[in-house]
Amino acid sequence: MKRRSIFWFRRDLRLADNPALLAAIAEGDEVLPLFIVDENIAARAGEHRRAYLAGSLKALNASLQGNLHVISGDPVTVLHELVGRHQISSIHVSADFAPYGVHRDRNVEASGLSLIRTGSPYAVAPGRVRKSDDTPYRVYTPFFRAWTTHGWRLPVAAPSTFNLISPGKGDQTIPNWSLSNGPLLQDVGEAAALERWKLFQESGLKNYDTTRDLPGVDGTSRLSAHLRWGEIHPRTLLAALSNSPAHEVFRKEIAWREFYADVLHHNPHTSRDYYVSRFAKMRYDQPEEKFRAWCEGKTGFPFVDAAMRQLVQTGWMHNRARMVVASFLVKDLHLEWQHGANFFMKYLIDNDVASNSHGWQWTAGCGTDASPYYRIFNPIEQGKRFDPAGDYIREFVPELHHLSAKQIHEPWLEVDGYKFGYPVRIVDHSIERLESLARLAEIKAVEAS
Ligand SMILES: Cc1cc2nc3c(=O)[nH]c(=O)nc-3n(C[C@H](O)[C@H](O)[C@H](O)COP(=O)(O)OP(=O)(O)OC[C@H]3O[C@@H](n4cnc5c(N)ncnc54)[C@H](O)[C@@H]3O)c2cc1C
């Protein structure tokens, strides 16, 4: 009798460098490749995210010669039905470390099915790198050193051929999600990820250390969504890096992703709650009109508005801009970081709970290794420094495109600054900065009393 295994794709929508898929192939004479669409998650996702996933599933299905099973429903029900129908002997996965995935997998195992885990979406699985006293790292730099010393495996090749179980009627319902206003700006799928990585190696990577902070320049890899969906594995990227300064900085960014996954693994509550709990006691405002202005890119601060419009229009935002809008939400609007993080999770095509929640908390001053709370980004100076020619602002804020590089960051100083309807500032940064520090002093005073 033929032995059959399921390979359950989750955050690893690729064939190359996929040890878990190789394990499924090694164990089964035939493999049933499966993706389960979770309608609960899909309902919360913005259209960019949904369109990205649908495109990625189509690409994966093409690489599997049309044999990808795509079924909507509860994983426990779907898996039991397939196991019974096809006399499946094993289910293979790459381990998921995010709280939602851990919970989902526990439910599957509690229902009597076993999952065979091989590898993870990380070069080093969360939980592996520990301090000499066996406790987890709380600070990035020593984590980075230990992570580098620990090292990682080399990439493995894609399987040459393997026998696939074809989907029956109703077993392949790839969602028909698309964007209402044109195609995604980014190509999706494993081939697109490898192509983007190749292009970046030939162009931006050598100057990454100097251009990565400039949102108006195509100076970063734009691989985050490919990594989030596992269309490429970080091992593949790390294997190609040398010790040049630019490559070292890029390796450090990959390590931030690994660090945050490790921190979330040890502190699952921090996907929604404060890492440094004292900040939960701070006085915050309610998300009302000012929050709406932030979401819509109408705060009257050009760099902040360009960034928020980039997010909503394209499903992605540059890292420097993410830090500035996050700081603005927490320190200028006095809102809790979770409001911003939820908005990001809805729109980002690279939405990743570990990088997102901890990127927010780092900027808000309540996370790991945080820049001290009193270091507050000035949204105007950040724009002048990181978008000196104003190209980024001009791209996303057409109401300001008539202004020169010198004028564009402070339209309120120009007689014609508002002639195309750009909104006036919703707050005064210098006043809100002091207000933020006053609220910090309040929690300190309570702690001291
Ligand atoms: C408030 C905030 C929210 C964020 N939310 C997310 C998120 O949901 N998903 C996400 O993938 N990244 C998130 N980041 C991190 C970072 O902004 C993005 O990874 C980066 O902008 C993606 O663009 P890129 O692929 O061109 O990055 P590159 O600069 O080319 O970096 C290469 C890769 O390294 C990783 N990386 C780079 N910077 C960081 C970082 N600061 N933290 C963690 N990983 C990093 C990413 O996987 C990225 O693709 C967030 C950062 C902040 C400040």
What is the reported pLDDT for 297? 98
Average pLDDT over residues 341-347: 97
Residue 161 inside a domain? The answer is no
372 & 324 share domain: yes
104 CA → ligand 1 middle, Å? 25
What is the reported pLDDT for 449? 85
282 & 376 share domain: yes
Q: What is the pLDDT of residues 157-189, one digit of tens each?
A: 999 889 999 999 999 999 999 998 888 888 999
227 & 305 share domain: no
261 & 317 share domain: no
Q: Whose CA is nearest to atom 37 of ligand 1?
A: 253
103 & 130 share domain: no
pTM, two decimal places? 0.97
Choose the residue to mutate in 224, 264, 339, 392 for probing ligand 1, maximizing ligand atoms within 8 Å of C-beta.
Answer: 224
Average pLDDT over residues 108-132: 98
- Percent of the chain at pLDDT > 70 equals 100
Q: Whose CA is nearest to atom 33 of ligand 1?
A: 254
370 & 334 share domain: yes
DSSP character at residue 413: G
Residue 162 inside a domain? The answer is no
Burial of 384 (0-12, 13-18, 19+ CB in 10 A): middle
Average pLDDT over residues 331-359: 97
The domain that holds 361 is classified in CATH as 1.10.579.10
**Which distant-in-sequence residues (6+ apart) come within 8 Å of 216 by Cβ?**
387, 389, 390, 391, 392, 395
Q: Whose CA is nearest to atom 43 of ligand 1?
A: 257
**What is the domain count for the chain?**
3
Residue 169 inside a domain? The answer is no
What is the reported pLDDT for 183? 80
What is the reported pLDDT for 370? 60
Cα–Cα distance between 377 and 436 in angstroms, integer? 12
409 & 300 share domain: yes
The domain that holds 201 is classified in CATH as 1.25.40.80
Residue 256 Cβ inside 6 Å of ligand 1? The answer reads yes
Residue 403 inside a domain? The answer is yes
The domain that holds 116 is classified in CATH as 3.40.50.620
> Domain range for residue 343?
277-448
- What does pLDDT average to over the chain? 96
430 & 286 share domain: yes
Structure tokens at 223: 């691989």
Average pLDDT over residues 188-209: 97
37 & 112 share domain: yes
Nearest CA to 253 out of 271, 269, 241, 270 is that of 241
What is the reported pLDDT for 8? 98
235 & 356 share domain: no
Domain boundary among 120, 145, 176: 120
139 CA → ligand 1 middle, Å? 18
Residue 327 Cβ inside 6 Å of ligand 1? The answer reads no
Domain boundary among 104, 120, 136: 120
Domain boundary among 211, 236, 266: 266
Average pLDDT over residues 263-286: 97
298 & 330 share domain: yes
Residue 173 inside a domain? The answer is no
DSSP character at residue 138: -
For 211-353, list the strands marked E by DSSP: none
What is the reported pLDDT for 369? 76
Inform me whether the pLDDT recorded for 258 exceeds 90: yes
217 & 98 share domain: no
User: Measured over all CA atoms, what is the biggest interatomic distance in the chain, rounded to whole angstroms?
Assistant: 82
Q: Whose CA is nearest to atom 38 of ligand 1?
A: 253
Burial of 27 (0-12, 13-18, 19+ CB in 10 A): middle
Residue 178 inside a domain? The answer is no
Residue 170 inside a domain? The answer is no
Q: What is the pLDDT of residues 362-404, one digit of tens each?
A: 999 999 976 688 889 999 999 999 999 999 999 999 999 999 9
Average pLDDT over residues 6-28: 96
Residue 319 inside a domain? The answer is yes
